[in-house]
Amino acid sequence: MVLVLLRLIMLVLTRKLGESIAIDDHIKIVVVQIKGKQVRLGIKAPKETKIHREEVYRAIQDQNTEASKSDLSGLGQLTDDLHKK
Amino acid sequence: MKVKTTRFGELEVDKKDILNFKEGLLGFETLRKFFIVDPGDQTLILWLQSLDDGATAFPVIEPKVFAPQYAVKLLPAESASLSLESLNDASIYTILTIPQNITDMSANLKAPVIINNKTRESRQIVLQDSKLEVRYKMYMELKKYIVAYNSDDTRRTRVELDRELRVETTETVAPAVTEITPEKDPGLDM
C-alpha cells in the first residue's frame, strides 16, 4: 500500500555533480559521478537502514514465485537421484 | 486446526506451530501465516506451507546441509524486528527453486527465512552481503550430504537420537514440523 502511494507521488529533483538530497534527518544521497548514461550515487545512512539495488528485490520475488510453483511430483525423481550413489 | 492443502491434502496443525510473517514473503505480501511440513521423502526438503492459501507452499531446506560455511549476519534492526537476542534462538531456512532439470536446483542464500523459535515471528530477510547468490546451485552438495548420511550407520543412529531429543524439547524450542508418514497417501492425484 505504502509502496503504491510512493510511486504515485514521486518527487523529481534535478541535481548536479557533488550535490545531494537529504531524506529525513539521517539519510543523505550524493551524486558522486556522472559518466554518460551512468550515475554513481553515494548513500549515507544509519547502519540499520536497508539499502539494496531494486533488481535484488525483483530477483528474490521471481525466485519466490518460481519456488511456490514447485510440486511434489518433481521431487520423486529428486529423491531417487539423491539417494543414488 | 485442520488445513486443506493442494500438495499434502488435509493437515492437522497445532496453533503453536504457526509462523507469523508480519510482512509476508517478497511477492507474497498478503500471506502472513505459514507452517512447516515434512513430507517424509528423505530429501531433507521441507515445505513452508501457507495457512491462508492451501495452494501456496515453498520448498525449503536448512542451509547447513549443503553450505556448512554459510553464516547469516543480521543488522541490529533486523534482529530487533524478530525480537531475536541471538541466532541460537532462530531456525534458518533457504527457499529452493526446483526446475524440470533437477540438477539445476538452487537455493536462495541472499534472502533466507528466519524464524524466532520462541515467538514464531518470521521474516524473509535480504542480507547485505553482496556475494550471496539468489540462485545458488546446490544439487551436488545436497546429494553428497544425503549419500554420506545414508552410508554412515553410526552417524545415522546419532542423528536419530538427536531427533528424539529434539522431539522432547519441541515445546520450547523449534516449531514442530507437521510430519506426513510416507505410507499415508497424501492425496496427490492432481
Residue B164 has pLDDT above 60, yes or no: no
Residue spans of alpha helices (H) in chain A: 2-8, 54-68, 72-83
Distance of residue A7 Cα from the nearest chain B Cα, in angstroms: 17
Query: A68 — contact with chain B (CB < 8 Å)?
Result: yes
Among partner residues A52, A74, A83, which is closest to B126 by beta-carbon distance?
A52
Tens-place pLDDT, residues B47-94: 999 999 999 999 999 999 999 999 999 988 899 999 999 899 999 999
Q: What is the ipTM of this complex?
A: 0.78
In chain B, the largest separation of any two C-alpha atoms, in whole Å, equals 46
Q: Is A49 helix (H, G, I), strand (E, B) or coil?
A: coil
B51 and B13 Cβ atoms separated by less than 8 Å? yes
| Mean pLDDT, range A32-47, rounded to an integer | 94
Interface contact flag, A78 B150, Cβ < 8 Å: no
Predicted confidence at residue B152, as pLDDT, reads 63
Cβ A67–B59 below 8 Å, yes or no?
A: yes
Task: Calculate mean pLDDT across residues A41-49.
Answer: 88
Rounded Cα–Cα distance for residues B54 and A49 (Å): 35
Chain mean position to CA A40: 16
Sequence-distant (6+) residues with CB within 8 A of B90 are: B82, B84, B114, B115, B116, B117
Q: How confident is the model at residue B132 (pLDDT cuts 50, 70, 90)?
A: very high
pLDDT for residue B149: 77
CB-CB: which of A47, A63, A82 is closest to B97? A63
pLDDT score at B166: 43
Cβ A64–B43 below 8 Å, yes or no? no
For residue A25, what are the β-bridge partners?
none
Whether the per-residue pLDDT at B99 is higher than 80: the answer is: yes
Residue A82: partners with Cβ closer than 8 Å, 6 or more residues away: B43, B142, B143, B146, B147
Mean pLDDT of B151-164: 50
A44 DSSP 8-state letter: E
For A61, the grid coordinates are 520475488
Average pLDDT over residues A27-55: 91
| Bigger pLDDT: B69 vs B188 | B69
Nearest to A60 among B41, B102, B111 (CB): B111
Task: With beta carbons under 8 A apart, name residues in chain B contacting A26.
Answer: none
Helices (H), B29-180: 76-81, 139-151, 153-169
How close does chain A come to B94, measured CA to CA in Å?
11
Cβ distance of A82 and B151 shorter than 8 Å: no
Chain segment B73-84, per-residue pLDDT in tens: 998 889 999 999
Q: What is the pTM of this model?
A: 0.77
- Say yes or no: A3 contacts chain B, CB-CB below 8 A: no
| pLDDT at position A3 | 54
pLDDT computed for residue A6 by the predictor: 54
